[in-house]
Amino acid sequence: MVLILGRRMNREDSAVRESPAVKRKVLEMDTKALNSHDVFDFSSGPCHAESVLQMFNEFRDARLFTDVVISVEGREFPCHRAVLSACSSYFRAMFCNDHRESHEMLVEINGIRAEAMDAFLHYVYTGRVRITTDNVQYLFETSSLFQITTLRDACAKFLEDQLDPCNCLGIHRFADAHSLKQLASRCRAYALQSFGDVALHEEFLDLRVDELEEYIASDDLAVGKEETVFEAVMRWVYHDVEHRRPMLRQLLLHVRLPLLHPNYFVQTVEGDQIIQNAPECYQLLHEARRYHVLGNEMMSPRTRPRRSTGFSEVIVVVGGCERVGGFNLPYTECYDPVTGEWKSLAKLPEFTKSEYAVCALRNDILVSGGRINSRDVWMYNSQLNIWIRVASLNKGRWRHKMAVLLGKVYAVGGFDGQSRLSSVECYDSFSNRWTEVAPMKEAVSSPAVAGCVNKLFVIGGGPDDNTCSDKVQCYDPESDSWLLRANIPIAKRCITAVSFNNLIYVSGGLTKSIYCYDPAEDYWIHVVHTFSKQVPLSACWVRMRRLV
């Protein structure tokens, strides 16, 4: 029986029939002329592929049509070459080229576990696999060997989801060994964020010294206080003290000892037996002691707070006026260069004064003097966010400057309403007392003042209302004496000086240039031209570290 599908013919068509002797003429059909009823594209969807794959898996279980046996750890797995080659480029290269394995019935594979091979084949024949904490490592290695990317990525994602303080370091090492950059980055970020908990587990004690260094050197290490880092390092050293003792200084270079609480530093750090017997660490201990006395006057990589501690180096603006000749303002605000945000601090007391001096002492701020003839001194306590009145100056002054040298504050020169002052006073915060020191060689107001290389430098200023000085006066606190050094190339007042890397930079005021002075060589160099003259403001800027 033959089934013919076609268009039904009408009577007129049937009346004119070809003679059997007449050869049929074949006409080309235009496929575009066919309507939608002439073609039906049918697809059974993914279910067809699944059913075929399921049948192959049943064949595998029943050993039907299998043409190769994979042997792993003595356990045999009957398989189909075609299925393995379709899923894995590793097997495709093995079976489709002229290798010995392409002809042999039994193929032995080393370097993997039988349980992992069983789970791998289940995935190949079903598209599904159960990943557990017990098999994930072996399954990952097997999928990597056989180049099954999807299964390899699934194992990596499973590991990422299992991160906790007790395993993140081991997973990190595993990720590095297999070049899993994303997983390694995730592990490192997790360990940095949970360092306090991670350091309490056994995996932490097995870190190599370079791995531990990488963690504790990071500014992103999340610790509430630096004591956590120190205790983690000492726990690691004591775990194998005989071999790790020589590495102590190498690690303490990355612990921010100056930021430890002074009591903790004295009792715990200096009292540690290993540290006491490690002369190579004494310099680091001395640096921490100096910081506890000098504060921000002393700078090193270990005095910069970690981001997680909640402290940030900020610029503080004290006072100012709303316009030239306008009202004085009480506001104290700080600017965080990292976040770009301004925050308000406690208002400045007795803000009606002007032309006072400001400086940062350790992590607090001192404001002294002011117009007219004020002896008042206020200290801003950064921890309490309040202003506290401290000991008054011995002589009232304004248009003076203050600078910190070796942990003490110096109020230099100024104006008392009648004449310029050469007197200099020194403030000791521990005794809360101002004392007179040797006067300057030349009385000036509005000079630039900076402490550098254990000396105090007073640069320029105004000896009177009409002239400016180019003199550089240097004070030595050990001998309580003043010397004149190389003159600055310009004679200006209302300029500002800062010290950095044992050099002094001078700018601002009515000059368009920045100059640099080297105290060791006693010479000046011109650094750069600024865009315009910097008109002096009544607001004062200082740098300090503040809890954000």
- Could you tell me where the beta strands, DSSP code E, fall in 393-534? 401-405, 408-412, 424-428, 433-437, 448-452, 455-459, 472-476, 481-485, 496-500, 503-507, 513-518, 523-529
pLDDT of residue 338: 79
Range with lowest mean pLDDT among 428-437, 458-467, 507-516: 507-516
Tell me what pLDDT residue 31 has: 53
Q: Which strand (E) or helix (H) includes residue 334?
A: strand 332-336
pLDDT at 537: 44
- 541: pLDDT strictly greater than 60: no
In whole angstroms, what is the distance from residue 217 CA to residue 213 CA?
A: 6
| pLDDT value for 545 | 58
Residue 312: its H or E element: strand 311-318
Would the CA dihedral through 501, 503, 504, 505 be positive or negative? negative
User: What mean pLDDT is predicted for residues 287-307?
Assistant: 85
pLDDT at 49 over 70: yes
8 A C-beta contact, residue 497 and residue 523 = no
The residue with tokens 């030239």 is 324
Long-range contacts of 349-354 (CB under 8 A, 24+ apart): 349/378, 349/387, 349/389, 350/376, 350/378, 351/319, 352/328, 353/328, 353/398, 354/319, 354/321, 354/328, 354/398, 354/538
* pLDDT recorded at residue 96: 86
**The domain made up of 207-308 is a member of CATH 3.90.1300.10:** no
User: Which pLDDT score is estimated for 28?
Assistant: 55
pLDDT for the residue 35:
57
* pLDDT exceeds cutoff 50 at 14: no
Q: pLDDT tens digits for 91-144? A: 998 888 877 777 889 999 998 999 999 999 999 999 889 999 999 999 999 999
Summary mean pLDDT of the chain: 87
> Is it the case that residue 542 has pLDDT exceeding 80?
no
Predicted local distance difference test score (pLDDT) of residue 351:
67
State the Cα–Cα distance between residues 290 and 59, nearest whole angstrom: 79
Lowest mean pLDDT among 388-397, 456-465, 517-526, 533-542: 533-542
Q: What is the pLDDT of residue 205?
A: 96
Question: What is the tens place of the pLDDT at every residue in 197-240?
Answer: 999 999 999 999 999 999 999 999 999 899 999 999 999 999 99
Phi, psi of 288 (to 5 degrees): -65, -40
The pLDDT-based confidence of 2 (bands split at 50, 70, 90) is very low
The whole model's pTM is what? 0.68
Q: What is the pLDDT of residue 38?
A: 76
Token pair in block for residue 158: 């499973």
- pLDDT reading at 329 higher than 90: no
Asked whether this chain's domains 46-162 and 207-308 adopt the same fold, the reply is: no
> What's residue 37's pLDDT?
64
Which residue's entry shows tokens 């004149």? 484
- Which residues, 6+ apart, have CB-to-CB distance to 429 below 8 Å? 361, 362, 379, 390, 407, 408, 409
Percentage of the chain with pLDDT > 90? 59
Asked if pLDDT for residue 491 goes beyond 60, the answer is: yes
Would you say residue 8 has pLDDT above 80? no
Least confident stretch, 14-23, 95-104, 389-398: 14-23
User: Looking at domain 46-162, does it have CATH number 3.20.20.120?
Assistant: no
CATH code at 317-547: 2.120.10.80
Helix axes 149-161, 168-177, angle to 10 degrees: 160
Structural domain boundaries of the chain?
Answer: 46-162, 207-308, 317-547
In the three-class reduction of DSSP (H, G, I as helix; E, B as strand; rest coil), residue 499 is classed as strand
Q: Evaluate if residue 45 carries a pLDDT over 80.
A: no
CA angle 540, 542, 545 (to 5 degrees): 150
